Amino acid sequence: MNPITYSLCQKSGIGTVMWALFLCVFPPLFSDEPIDLSTAGATMTTSFHVPVETRYSLDIKFEFPSVDARIRDQIVGDQYNYACRGDIHYEEIPEIHRKGFGRPIPFRIVIRKSSDRSIVFDRTIVSLCITSHIQKEKWRMIGPLPLTTGGYIAEITNLESQLDLVGVKTTIGLYGGHGK
């Protein structure tokens, strides 16, 4: 997607038509990058290019061995809540609203410019609950990343070992959005 198409997709009239015709498809900046959640300190590093200045969604996908394993899972969770996309601490969420969240999973996100390796984003973000699921897979948002046009290097580090996810494949992706 280029800046002109992106701008048109944001307009109320023409944007709606363009979305309906799938002209506003925003391919991931990167996807299916493996990360080991069983080891604290495991890091995934990848280069990518941002074509349009906007907020991008850094997501993690959990692929379970079977649909039954996904349904039985209590670590990733099975409920979405308003806090999943916010910048709120787990402890600040009333316990009644945490039901079905699963386990908080902290990540350190460092984004550098490719050109000079200067840091443009360096933050610890705790992923709290699922945002979607289908078949054998669940997704969680790690957090939004505001990025400008250019080349970058992402370094995503798992900060706590998640030993109860044996047999679950985990990958990271950076997406331009989740719909209009």
Q: What is the pLDDT of residue 19?
A: 44
Q: What is the pLDDT of residues 10-27, one digit of tens each?
A: 666 665 554 444 456 678
pLDDT of 102 over the 50 cut = yes
Domains (ranges, CATH) in the chain?
27-175 (2.60.120.790)
Beta-strand relationship, 105-113 and 119-127: antiparallel
Tokens of 52: 């349009």
pLDDT of 91 over the 80 cut = no
Cα-based distances in Å from 22 to 44, 73, 94, 100, 152 = 31, 34, 39, 34, 27
Beta-strand relationship, 43-50 and 150-158: antiparallel
**Longest distance between any two alpha carbons in the chain, whole Å:** 49
Query: What band does 86 get if pLDDT is binned at 50, 70 and 90?
Result: low
For 56-72, what is the mean pLDDT? 95
Q: Look up the pTM and report it.
A: 0.82
